Chain A
Amino acid sequence: MANRSLAQVLTLRPGPGGPVWLIEFRAMGSPCRLHLAGVALPRAQELAELALAEVQRIEQAWSRYLDDSLVSRINRAAGTGKVVAVDAETAHLLDFADQLWRASEGRFDITSGVLRRAWNFRQASVPDAARLAQVCGLIGWADVAWNGEFISLPRTGMEIDFGGLGKEYAVDRVATLLIEAGQRSGVVNLGGDLRVLGPRPDGQAWQMAVAHPRQPGENLVSWPLLEGALATSGDYERCIEVAGRRYAHILDPRTGWPVSDWQSISVHAPACLAAGALCTVAMLSGPAAPDFLREQGVDFVACDAHGHLFTSEDTRCDLRAAC
């Protein structure tokens, strides 16, 4: 934990059930916020340390930017025939990724990160077909040798990454640690993926909101949460326009091309890992997304390409703020 820095408690906001502490830090390339209520300041600081240490632990294990992370070691061994031993925690996540890949018929593929080599969302250009075909040849969870203990990527240049899973899992781990440490009121928010520890000290819900995919600074819906997790996947974070056409960073690993059926999809589920994975799969599921989410029994709000909203029948979100 060499780069571990003390999380700073920034704001004290008195509320009806006592102060709500806001702790902000940066991790996993995202701004992170922790709201803790019903607790004294020294304890809030202790809990913040606990949270930060857990986020950093997970980041160091799975970051593809850190040379000594497990993910980097797995990726470096690609094409060499070497197998890499995987710890139990990572094994569970890989098993879950495998399950997602099967259930989504290949739409969710943790080897698809290589597409960023072809698509540069900082430049307004579309990759040529040859380059895209070359990169797509490096995608394929089906070809990865994974036996529950050891993993080996068959082709040089292949990569796995836990984008879409790692941050969400970190949210769940932090929430679980804090709840197990006795904290009953607060919200863990890592770069927009969040989980509620429990209601506000006065029993009220936390007022959450989903960002509007086309109007920066505006909210699509507000969403009161007493518990559970909320994650959103949108086409607006990174996109380019070429010749009047919008290309979003939601890429289908089976074709290498962006999909544009949905502007954004938000899911409320008991765990952030579930919410995050489901909205990613739903974004890639085309018109079948609402049915897929209904089958999963989760509360959701999906905004299609024309700005029309689809929700679960019994949604708890507040649509009055909707566009």
Chain B
Amino acid sequence: MAPAWGEAVVAATDHTRRTFGALTLAACALPGVMPAVAMAEEAPEHSLVAVKMSGYQDKQPGLDRLSVKSPSFYLLTPLGRQWAVEGSLTHDDVSGASPRYYTDVSGASRMHDDRVAGDLRLTRYFERQSLSIGLSHSGEHDYVSNALSITGTHASEDNNTTWNAGIGLSRDRINPVNELVVNERKRTVEWQVGVTHALSPLDLVQGTLTWSVGKGYFSDPYKLFDERPRERNSGVLLLRWNHWSPALAAAVRSSYRLYRDSFGVQAHTVELNVEKPLNAQWTLTPSLRYHTQRAADFYVDPVDNANVYPGPNGTPTYVSTDQRLSAFGALGLGMKLAWQWSPAWGADMKLERYEQRADWRLGGQGSPGVDPLKALQWQIGLSHKF
């Protein structure tokens, strides 16, 4: 996204809380006047085009699972002073072993797939509000998804507080190659409300609540013993705090995310990253993420009985052996290096190491019998403003 300029500035001079008047705030909100964090209801001033290449690879003992090398293109351009349009196009080349269920079963078939995804968003900026409408499409030969979203923001008169609300609809069509099901559908409606508040010129807090109701085919057609409910409702609470630390001369961003769904999964994720400008051109951003989750109600652990394995005991209505629905903890450690060598040109490089283990689950044991998963994600990008 475009750099977040013109941030709402409230407050603290010499650590005294003050409520500034409109003129004071207006001066502080001029782009480039305050070094900081946040947002404004303002159309971007420049066009931005970015190209990114990214890759993902995960490993479990004895098996390389997936590698996606996706070139993606992103374009953001203002249309006059009040409109902006942005779009992106991604092409993923997915290859590797298809996802397997319990991790000690090998011999998964090799797979290769192309995915093309694109989205387009049009935003109208008003004095204190913005309204945007977005369309997106993603297509693989066995899975097609279309989505529509509308979001709006409203900023308070002093620019200290911004509220946002949105609704999203998506329709997916699933036609697996094994023809286990034909022309299956999935529909999701999502509501979101949020508020962002500048506590001081250095501190920005945000809370967002998302609720989504999904109906349709949620099972994985490529997995044995995978039968999931045809309804999935989920809620997400996201809390964020961005702080500019004068002592570190860096922006410290922290967040907490709570996820719950009707499958019984409950997850907590905390993340911390520090964006540290090294000099006028280079910025280093180390990040740390921890995730812990409870298994879905119908996730089944591997059983010892060789007559049953790899299936579940008995014949439950709903069942899944997908380890993404198991109980586990995960740690992500990342580093991003950005180089802005001119106002118009910049490049960045990002690497994240992720590891998921059953016994890293917070406050208890994770699902037994699942091998640790290690993943490496990288991204390089080039961006140009004009």
A: which residues have CB within 8 A of B? 46, 50, 88-89, 92-93, 96, 99-100, 103, 148-149, 169, 172-173, 175-177, 179-184, 198-199, 205, 225-228, 268-271, 273-274, 277-278, 281, 295-299, 314, 316
Contacts and interface: CB of A to CB of B under 8 A. Distances in A.
Contacts of A269: 13, 20, 24, 27-28
Contact of B27 (A50, A89, A277): A277
Interface string B260-290: 0000000000000000111110000000000
B247 interface: yes
A295 B19 CA distance: 9
16 contacts: A89-B32, A93-B30, A96-B26, A99-B22, A179-B249, A180-B277, A180-B280, A181-B280, A226-B14, A271-B30, A273-B30, A273-B33, A277-B23, A278-B23, A297-B20, A316-B14
Nearest to A292: B21
A173 B32 CA distance: 6
B322 to A, nearest CB: 45
B14 A296 contact: no
Nearest to B22: A103
Contacts of A228: 13-14
B16 interface: yes
Contacts of A225: 14
A314 B24 contact: no
Contact of A270 (B13, B31, B46, B81): B13
A177 B279 CA distance: 10
B45 interface: yes
A276 B84 CA distance: 33
Given A103-B23, A172-B32, A297-B24, A182 B13 contact: no
Interface of B: 9, 11, 13-16, 18-24, 26-28, 30-35, 45-46, 81, 201, 246-247, 249, 276-280
Given A179-B249, A181-B280, A296-B21, A92 B15 contact: no
Contacts of A89: 31-32
Contacts of A227: 13-14, 246
A271 B27 contact: yes
Contact of B35 (A96, A180, A226, A281): A180
Contacts of B26: 96, 99, 274
Given A182-B279, A269-B24, 19 more contacts: A88-B45, A99-B26, A148-B81, A172-B30, A172-B33, A180-B277, A181-B279, A182-B278, A184-B249, A205-B14, A225-B14, A227-B13, A227-B14, A270-B34, A271-B27, A278-B23, A296-B20, A297-B18, A298-B20
